[in-house]
Amino acid sequence: MLICFFLDTLGKGCAFVAVLLVVFQWTSEAAGPLERKAAAVGTSVLLSAPDNIKDINFIQWEYQNGTTWYFIVQYYVGSQKPTLYPPYENRVVFYSLNGSLLLENLQETDSRVYKASINLIESEARTTLLKVLRPVSQPQIWSSSSLAGSPIELFCNVPGGTVENIDWEKEGGPLPQERCYLLSENDSVLHIGKGGKSDCGSYSCNVSNEISWQESLLNLTIVDISPPLELALKMSAIAVVFALVSGMGFFVLCCQSEKKRIKGENWRWMIIFIQVLVCVSSILLFAATVLWMHEEGPSAAFIVLEILLVYVIIVTVLISATLVYQPAKLSGFKTKPWQRVILDSAAPGAVILVVLFASLLLQKISQLQDRGCSQTVDLTGYAVISAVISLFGLITLFIWYHRSQRDQRENKRHSKEEADQEVQQELREDMLQRP
Ligand SMILES: *[C@@H]1O[C@H](CO)[C@@H](O)[C@H](O)[C@H]1NC(C)=O
Ligand SMILES: *[C@@H]1O[C@H](CO)[C@@H](O)[C@H](O)[C@H]1NC(C)=O
Ligand SMILES: *[C@@H]1O[C@H](CO)[C@@H](O)[C@H](O)[C@H]1NC(C)=O
Ligand SMILES: *[C@@H]1O[C@H](CO)[C@@H](O)[C@H](O)[C@H]1NC(C)=O
């Protein structure tokens, strides 16, 4: 433990000494003040020589590579032309009048320290640190998610250029203090945490270096509920409407006076229609519950509901299939009283079950709907369309029933009239035959 501490201190000490050495070396070698310049790749930059020396005899330009200095230009005043050294000989223009050096067609590898000295006076030399940068390109900004309650990260990706700085802003100002935003090490990822209403808005990332900057904007809309929950919401709404309409159907069938009770073919198709409606609404609620549990986790109440719904679906499919293909056999299933109870109560029970639980689900999902800032799902259209479809079926069946009732009555009247006529005819024949 102690040794570790010792070594650690020793390590830090060494690092400190190294830094001191570097600083010392720097100050000893670069005599004058260090100027800084930045330029873009492919452009040119003009470097200036010292301008405080009167009698100029000799001008010399050097560059530093590692710890060594290499010549670029040497010029004796009065000589024909300057001596240029590789590798810069073809990329520089030397102005002998004022000693300036124009560096052309800059590359990133030209980022280094340049030094101009006059008459070899080291203390008056002028050093310039040149930084050659690629201009930043337009950043791409996107979010990992936009769902309320889920962790949200914004990414700022810069396809090209030398990125030195990334600044994030919200609504054109600094990021709000009250919200705990986290930035990744190089600032390219903004962690928002669990998304909520207050996180909606426009975010921008400003990518820059010394010579250029680019900015991109993202309008973040926090979505209240995930697409599966939205689907579950719509399914529950349709299930409620179908269940209510089939409940209406049952009510009408039950509350008829004994004289007008629907019988025969009409009764059969009415029951088939209602059973199918109950079956469809049960399937919809079943699917909606599965989606809900997939998103929000399972719960015992909903699992029991699923089992009951499977039972309802099987019974309603059985009854409607039997009524469609072999109506006579239905009474065969109902020989014992308990069978009759099970088969007859399945659909009305399911209506109550579906209405209750679909309303519960609707309420639960709606509660989640004010977490974000997206538009709430409008269910009116779905409710109206499903109501129109199911009521249309029910009303069509009733109209058909009343038509057939009227036909029957007329048939009866006709046959009665015919019978009367026959009787009268017989009477007449009877009278004629009598003497
Ligand atoms: C700088 O030094 C490295 C090796 O230390 C060498 O590979 C490179 O070519 C040198 N660059 C220039 C411009 O002299
Ligand atoms: C030196 O001379 C050149 C060419 O005449 C000019 O472009 C440049 O700006 C001058 N440099 C200084 C530091 O004045
Ligand atoms: C982006 O950042 C650069 C450098 O910090 C700054 O000059 C520029 O004004 C910023 N742009 C915007 C739109 O804030
Ligand atoms: C963000 O929304 C504003 C208005 O709210 C609009 O002017 C801007 O164009 C939108 N930006 C994007 C990238 O969609």
Matching residue, tokens 């089992």: 307
Q: Rounded to the nearest whole angstrom, what is the distance from the C-alpha of residue 65 to the centroid of ligand 1?
A: 6
CA distance 316 to 343: 8
Verify whether ligand 3 is closer than 6 Å to residue 213 (CB atom).
yes
Which amino acid, one-letter code, is at 70? Y
3-class DSSP assignment, residue 297: coil
Q: Ligand 4 center to residue 102 CA distance, Å?
A: 45
- CA 162 from chain centre, in angstroms, equals 31
Highest-scoring range by mean pLDDT, 10-14, 83-87, 406-410: 83-87
Asked whether the predicted pLDDT for residue 19 surpasses 90, the reply is: no
Confidence class for position 369, pLDDT limits 50, 70, 90: confident
Distance CA 211, CA 161 (A): 11
Rounded Cα distance, 370 and 197, in Å? 8
Which residues lie with the beta carbon below 6 Å from any ligand 2 atom? Answer: 48, 95, 97-98, 100
Q: Which of 96, 98, 102, 126 has the most ligand 2 atoms within 8 A of CB, as the residue to mutate?
A: 98
Q: What is the pLDDT of residues 330-346, one digit of tens each?
A: 666 667 777 777 777 78
Residue nearest atom 14 of ligand 4, based on CA coordinates: 219
User: Which atom of ligand 4 approaches the CA of 219 most closely?
Assistant: 1
Identify which has the larger pLDDT, 75 or 268. 75
3-state SS, residue 182: strand
Instruction: Give me the pLDDT at residue 250, please.
Output: 84
Where does the pLDDT of residue 57 fall: very low under 50, low under 70, confident under 90, or very high at 90 and above?
A: confident
| Cα distances (angstroms) measured from residue 219 to each of 96, 156, 190, 432 | 56, 14, 14, 104
**Dist CA 244 CA 261 (whole Å):** 22
Predicted TM-score (pTM) of the model is 0.67
Residue 231: how many CA atoms within 13 Å on its side-chain side? Answer: 14
Give the least confident one: 204-218, 255-269, 382-396.
Answer: 255-269
- Band (175; pLDDT cuts 50, 70, 90): confident
* Span 308-337, pLDDT tens digits: 999 999 988 988 888 888 877 766 666 777
3-class SS at 318?
helix
41 residue type, one letter: V
Nearest alpha carbon to residue 229 among 354, 368, 360, 380: 368
Of 265 and 87, the one with more pLDDT: 87
Half-sphere exposure of 379 (CA within 13 A, CB side): 20
